[in-house]
Structure 1
Amino acid sequence: MPLDAASAHSAAACELWAAGGRPAYGERGGVRYGHNDDILFGAIQLDESAFAMTSDGKTPLQQAAESAYKAIFALTDALAFPYILRFWNYIADINGDSHGLERYRQFNMGRQDGFLSRGREVLGSVPAASAVGFEAGPLTIYFLAGRGATPIAIENPRQVSAYHYPQNYGPRSPTFSRASVARIGGSEVLFLSGTASIVGHRTLHAGDVAAQTRETLANIRAMLAEAARVVPQAHFTLDDLCYKIYVRHAKDVAAIHEELRLALGDAARLMFLRADICRDDLLMEIEASAGHPLEFGLRG
């Protein structure tokens, strides 16, 4: 649910990505998609009620996630878009427990199974991604894929890579890189994964949303510096980014917005969304991107 930064009330909004050429549209294996010569955008929604617990212990959510990722990779292979640039995952009741396991951990198991079943890497060169929660509804996944050069995965020197998290965060580690840089249409494009107040692998500043916002910005600065080191021609600054801010409690929007205003200035491109974060002690996270024509706007 989009939130107005000034009032924390819901507001109609949209995210506009621009691309050239005449697009082609279709559906395959439950994935709805559109693409031009360079970029493929797709979406899939799967209802967990279509799955039952299996004899080997796979939960409905785990199976839905595995099935969704299999369908996505089958589509990108069929249409010859070999590189996933970015995933967005939306999971109902992400912090809740079912079948004896936190639902985000179930999702991570299914996601990794989907990667492995289609011969995809689950360590190192993996796509950027976000995973946040909402109250109820089908598992929903959006993605961008490309045909250009292989995206370059970026890790944060202040953090343990998510795919190397210790097992106390779940039976399977999350499958995503902290960021990636892709070359699209002759330009470098940065995709920053969902970024929060985590240093090493631990959450910092539990209960303090302003401090979590400042720590998140420190992580974003560290990733921009690392991206510039790994891909010198992709020298992005804080001013270049479009920011999408996921907020657990609408009442915290004003405090988060003030921290962002102080750090980024009044001209920063910000969109606030009400969502649950993948850890129950995180109050907010930020994803961002740069190097492409993208704007946030109001819908009439």
Structure 2
Amino acid sequence: MNYCQKIHYNIFQADQADFDKLVDRLLDCIPQNEIVLRLVFFGKPLSNAQYLERRLLIRKKVRYRYQHSEPALTYVAQPPLGAALIMEVHSYIPDGSDCIAFRHYEGTPYVMVENDKMKCLYAGGFQEDILMFGIQQQAAGVFARLGDVLRKEGFPISSIVRQWNYIERITDCDGADQRYQMFNNARSEFYKPVDWSNGYPAATGIGADLGGLVVDVDAVVFKQEDCYATPIDNKLQIAAHAYSEKVLEKAGVQKTTPKFERAKRLTTGNNSLIYISGTAAIRGEETLVGVGLERQLRITMENIAELIGDAAIKFLRVYLKDRSYYEEAKFLLETYHLNVPISYMCADVCREELLIEIEGIAMK
């Protein structure tokens, strides 16, 4: 089997139960015949103290269940829409050529898959313990730990093909400096020593109610000439890393651009997987303002279609600025007849005027 046949993405949701029972119910849904690479839980804690308690509870349950096969694990404080708790599962069906290793770094689990074509790293939950620190300080610690894991396992920083960045109160300011812009500055500093001639990672920078800064990554080192990664541009949009000064927010003396590609394609022979970055109703570098949710959703889906071409969408995450948009967004997406797992979360998008952002996976 090729990589696209081996990797799977599923979404499960649960409602109307105590939190520990919700977690158990979701864990019971995981397919037993697949190797779990990553679990991402989306919930609505009421405070950072409760967030930490629930994160610990999830960790204990996952560790008890998986023992020496513990997947990468992340808990995101984004209120799920249509459920009390949502769990996303990235899983893998290995064949005889695959070697799978489950490891930890300072208590953070991650998974490595290696075969004759590639070596892959699935890591997440990189997060500081003290959530009251400023975002720039948290980001420095998070990227230091991520860098340590990459070096330990022989992955260059430029091998990151997909990055998820969850930022508490993303559009708020710490003093005079916007939190998302400070994160972008810290990311630029982490990426600075690296040759990115093959494009930056696909990425999402999205708000969370609580939890400080959390970062997840997929990284790949290829071994054969017919296996490689390529950045994908959208001719309808300016690349985020090429934004002009006028659309960047204030953060101290620095003002760096968001370092990500609109999408990234992993090619293995005749097959490809496309990581679709967080995508919104932006044309050029300007947001479509005042056009309403339906128009923003349609433009977002047009942008995604431009990125993936004739590849098929396999999975979507939808972030909505206000929970009141949930029913309308769900109805509108159903008109696309995608028949794929879709999750909906309430989260601040990186620009105040954006009502919706969508990310996902496509395959060909």
Tell me which moved more, 24-33 or 60-69.
Answer: 24-33
Instruction: Give the alignment partner of residue 155 of structure 1, picking from 206, 226, 233.
Output: 233
* Cα deviation, residue 76, structure 1: 1.8
Instruction: Give the alignment partner of residue 128 of structure 2, picking from 31, 41, 46.
Output: 46
In 2 relative to 1, CA 100–236 (structure 1 residues): closer, same or farther, beyond 3 Å? same
Deviations 1:106-163 (A, max 9, x none): 11001111111xx224676100000111112231011111122441011110011100
Does the 8 A contact of 1:47 with 1:137 survive in 2?
A: no
Q: Hey, what does 1:272 align to over in structure 2? A: 344
Q: Hey, what does 2:67 align to over in structure 1? A: none
Which amino acid in 2 is paired with 1:213? Answer: L
In 2 relative to 1, CA 132–67 (structure 1 residues): closer, same or farther, beyond 3 Å? same
Q: Hey, what does 2:362 align to over in structure 1? A: 290
Partner Cα distance (1:28, 1:142) in 2? 14
- Report sequence identity in percent: 25
In 2 relative to 1, CA 161–257 (structure 1 residues): closer, same or farther, beyond 3 Å? same
Question: What residue ranges of structure 1 are gaps of 5+ in the alignment?
Answer: 52-59, 226-234, 293-300
Question: What residue ranges of structure 2 are gaps of 5+ in the alignment?
Answer: 1-41, 45-79, 250-254
* Cα deviation, residue 80, structure 1: 2.1
* Cα deviation, residue 250, structure 1: 1.2
Q: Hey, what does 1:110 align to over in structure 2? A: 186
Is 1:32 the counterpart of 2:109? The answer is: yes
Which amino acid in 1 is paired with 2:229? Answer: P
In 2 relative to 1, CA 106–122 (structure 1 residues): closer, same or farther, beyond 3 Å? farther
* Cα deviation, residue 10, structure 1: 2.7
Does the 8 A contact of 1:70 with 1:115 survive in 2?
A: no
Instruction: Give the alignment partner of residue 96 of structure 1, picking from 151, 154, 172.
Output: 172
Matches within 5 A, 1:1-300: 1=42, 8-19=81-92, 20=94, 21=98, 23-28=100-105, 31-37=108-114, 38-43=119-124, 44-47=126-129, 60-82=134-156, 83-116=159-192, 119-121=193-195, 125-148=199-222, 149-168=227-246, 169-170=248-249, 171-183=255-267, 187-206=271-290, 208-225=292-309, 235-237=310-312, 240-262=313-335, 264-265=336-337, 267-291=339-363
* Cα deviation, residue 48, structure 1: 5.5
Partner Cα distance (2:107, 2:284) in 1? 38
Does the 8 A contact of 2:202 with 2:275 survive in 1?
A: yes
* Cα deviation, residue 249, structure 1: 1.1
TM-score with structure 1 setting the length: 0.81
Does the 8 A contact of 1:64 with 1:110 survive in 2?
A: no
* Cα deviation, residue 209, structure 1: 1.0
Partner Cα distance (1:36, 1:67) in 2? 26
Between structure 1 and structure 2, the one with the greater Rg is 2
Note the aligned Cα RMSD (angstroms). 2.5
3-state SS of paired residue (1:243): strand
In 2 relative to 1, CA 261–73 (structure 1 residues): closer, same or farther, beyond 3 Å? same
TM-score with structure 2 setting the length: 0.67
* Cα deviation, residue 63, structure 1: 2.9
Q: Hey, what does 1:232 align to over in structure 2? A: none
